[in-house]
Every structure is written in structure tokens, then in C-alpha cells.
Amino acid sequence: ALRVMYGHLGCEDMLEFRARLSKAGAPLLLVKAECDPIADDNDWLAAHTQHPITHLLAKDQPHAFLQACGNDTSAEAVMGQIADWIRGLVKV
């Protein structure tokens, strides 16, 4: 599954993704699910980019918890925080 994800990003694997990581650019929102086994990837990304970063910790949540939107109020609350962050970037 990770190879497919990196393929969608135009990379062969994690090493190529890391090599291509931009050093500056648009703001990033890093949503970290507290119980996600790959949550530390957020920490790595934050340490290796110069993008302005906002961190959002989803306490007690597993990997892919946002897929439960519509059935889980906790997931919906985090999605609301994500939407608020995006709205804060958009200048009308």
C-alpha cells in the first residue's frame, strides 16, 4: 500500500520521496493519529522541511481514522479542525 501511495506522489519508494522533499513552500498541516504505527513519519517530515507547519494531534486515534467520518464524531471533529485550518489559509 505504501508503494502505491509513493507511486501516486511520483516516487518509487520512501527514499526517493525523501530525496525529492521540497525545502520551502506552501504551509503543511500534519495530522498525527496518536495510535498510528507510522505516526513518527510526521515527526520526520517536520524535521526535514522548511514549510510552515501546523501540527494536529488526533488523540487515541488509529491510522486512517478519518475514513470513519459520517460514523464517528471524533473523526468528524478532527475533519472540522482540518477544514478550519484550510479556511484560515484562504483569503476571500
pLDDT reported for residue 31: 96
User: Count of domains in the chain?
Assistant: 1
Distance CA 83, CA 78 (A): 9
Q: In the predicted model, what is the mean pLDDT of the chain?
A: 86
Residue 26's Cβ-side half-sphere holds a number of Cα atoms within 13 Å equal to 6
Q: Is the pLDDT of residue 20 over 80?
A: no
36, part of any domain: yes
Q: Is the pLDDT of residue 24 over 60?
A: no
13, part of any domain: no
3, part of any domain: no
